[in-house]
Structure 1
């Protein structure tokens, strides 16, 4: 049974739909693209591939070949919340699904099956299509979907990207709108990250540049050429400093990472030499700089905020940047990211987004008070905010 909060959210979105403008600017942009090319009355997504072709595509998919048992993990997450799981290729074509018989029957009625096309041009506004289009996590709730046939659904999707930035496909959990829960978003985001860390070698397209991916929010990690790098905390800090600060002299790099601590130049050079070997020579000197393309979640989150994608930024925020680091540059960037996201949420965040931020910042009374105010018409969220605020004040 849907909570009062979900009913209220659905009515709010339906009112916005009737007025012709979405509340979320990302959704609204998708609606504007869909208007001239796709009737909202489309009953089901096109299914344009035979089972044999879909099977061959799935066998070749780098997502399947990541070797982490992605099917079992995603299926388990779907079963736990009465959802359906799906994985697409780079074009938005579903290659694999899992779910209960009931959910698979419901999904089949709208073309949410292997071979179904869920890119935006084929199926309108939906989380799978948005994740592929933007390269960012996406969620679409109820009447935010363009096509009326799926306006009883909620979907959470996260793109899986190659080290060179190409989208390889999407991991998705979907279900009826009354099953909406932040747990599903966290599960699919965590699994997509794990897949990216274990992509098979040779994923980068011929002629494409190899890239470095740094995850600095929450639990730090790095991949290069699709392979996870084993880094010490100090090595993570050095790579992060080069990625976020740009070219640095030896003295400047030491200052950014070590601060006032006395450290021998030879120590820093040795760490850089080790990192250079890990990156196949991808660090130049005089000044020190990365010579391979690099993606950093911190940079992407900031860009999402500049673009007005508050939902994407909140989903990307897996925790504070390098939370245990005392390096001066890390302290500064951590503060900037936290303040940027916090201020945006206090200004325009939903109750769910504010509460997600409060999972990391448990004693931020202003955020919890704002969540209570925003959730005035949503009893479940308001009660959660009240309980957390009480704990924060007692702490």
Structure 2
């Protein structure tokens, strides 16, 4: 609800006129209302209701004592840890210059109405300090009565408070506009953004600007949340893969579902305050904490579980896990498994020989190697004519391809720290390795986010790439400490040439 639209009093209709005249009208309305006398005009509903809440909290209309919630030496640590710290540059860009140019201060509070940031002209800040309009003080309605910050948080809507609409008389010389900011993950209030000025300096349209800024801040937080979801998904997908066919889901630290496998219909959020939860359809699920987030799983009977083969083949040391059991691998057997994973429809002995050895490949050699490999895996895991894996395959190199195909470049980079089977000389593996690296590199260089480029530059495939570091030195901001690192690395790479 937009609180500013809830008005039917003549007073509200004339607030854009002479501020001094309106101050007298508003003061008469306030004094008459508080004394129980008849007023010529009624206060706006949002103001009347706020006054009632404030008086019920025993706020003295003729005195002021904004509580000091945080001492000056505590404020910095509190705001560094606050979620709105991430959007402060956005708020400054939109409101900071306006505040400086039009004799306003920009204020950001937490969800309790405590001021964490206040920025504006020095002369106005010096007038705000004596009345407690400064960092560390509490401005909820229950702490200091009707004011834009506290009332916006109380009604969860943008509000503009004019002069004598403040319950406490001390603030009748001030006019302010504020809007709440919400957490895009939980929907909870994070705090409020406020612009405050002296009686004759704040335009009635300011509340619309403040509200638009709050919405932009929420949009920024949502994009950041989605980026963090992608990072979390990349880190935790192996946990979901290791369920070996059991229904499961990955949850954020707040219980929001970001990935699910064979779970059917799921709520968007799951309670994570216990190790077992009951889903909406009556199914019982187990919640297991991960280093970041949670794994939700529904256990099924052994007979219904699908066997899973996990392949970690990016790098020098290939590893395979079959239903939780590590398999000893030679490089040649890793190559065979990689090729069969890349060709789910299967390959003949002749095709495998060509892809492993080139034109000189011998199908008999391949058959002997596969015979030993089937002994390790179990006869029902691989069929012949053609050779084909009959299990669910979870492979790191396949996840990279999947991320690229879905357009998630950041996830692809996170999932690709090294080339496929780095020590392999098999023609087909070498071709797949080069194509995968080239695809990731092309996607990264064309991606607008320098963080993605930086992540690629730290990988085995990107750390010696001159062009990557040239792009980094151009894209990273001058004040980003990574730019100096990238410049030094580029200089060293060029020196090596």
TM-score (norm 2): 0.43
SS at match of 1:164: coil
1:216 aligns with 2:313: yes
- Measure, in 2, the Cα distance between the counterparts of 1:13 and 1:348: 23
Match of 2:399 among 300, 303, 313: 300
Q: How does 1:102-251 map to 2 (within 5 A)?
A: 123=186, 145-146=221-222, 157=232, 158-159=235-236, 160-161=239-240, 162-164=243-245, 166-167=247-248, 206-218=303-315, 219-246=317-344, 247-251=346-350
Q: 1:124 to 1:374 in 2, by over 3 A?
A: farther
1:312 aligns with 2:411: yes
- How far 1:355 moved relative to its partner? 2.6
1:324 aligns with 2:405: no
Tell me the equivalent position of 2:352.
253
Match of 1:362 among 434, 457, 463: 463
Question: Larger Cα Rg: Structure 1 or Structure 2?
Answer: 2
- Measure, in 2, the Cα distance between the counterparts of 1:350 and 1:204: 45
Indicate if the aligned counterparts of 2:246 and 2:305 stay in contact, CA closer than 8 A.
no
Tell me the equivalent position of 1:105.
none
SS at match of 2:245: coil
- How far 1:226 moved relative to its partner? 1.6
1:389 aligns with 2:487: no
Match of 1:375 among 472, 476, 483: 476
Write out per-residue CA displacement over residues 89-131 of structure 1, whole angstroms, 9 at most, x where no aligned residue: xxxxxxxxxxxxxxxxxxxxxxxxxxxxxxx998479xxxxxx
- Measure, in 1, the Cα distance between the counterparts of 2:457 and 2:470: 11
- Measure, in 2, the Cα distance between the counterparts of 1:304 and 1:278: 31
Write out per-residue CA displacement over residues 264-298 of structure 1, whole angstroms, 9 at most, x where no aligned residue: x4332122112222222211111111111212222
- How far 1:327 moved relative to its partner? 0.7
Indicate if the aligned counterparts of 2:413 and 2:455 stay in contact, CA closer than 8 A.
yes
Write out per-residue CA displacement over residues 153-199 of structure 1, whole angstroms, 9 at most, x where no aligned residue: 99953221223375475798xxxxxxxxxxxxxxxxxx99xxxxxxx
Aligned pairs, number: 246
- How far 1:330 moved relative to its partner? 0.9
- Measure, in 1, the Cα distance between the counterparts of 2:187 and 2:348: 49
Indicate if the aligned counterparts of 2:466 and 2:493 stay in contact, CA closer than 8 A.
yes
Match of 1:277 among 369, 372, 375: 375
TM-score (norm 1): 0.53
SS at match of 1:387: helix
Instruction: Between the two structures, name the one with larger relative contact order (CA 8 Å, sep ≥ 6).
Output: 1
Indicate if the aligned counterparts of 2:410 and 2:452 stay in contact, CA closer than 8 A.
yes
- How far 1:301 moved relative to its partner? 1.2
SS at match of 1:348: coil
Structure 1, gaps ≥5 residues long: 3-8, 19-40, 44-119, 126-141, 173-190, 193-201
Indicate if the aligned counterparts of 2:230 and 2:410 stay in contact, CA closer than 8 A.
no
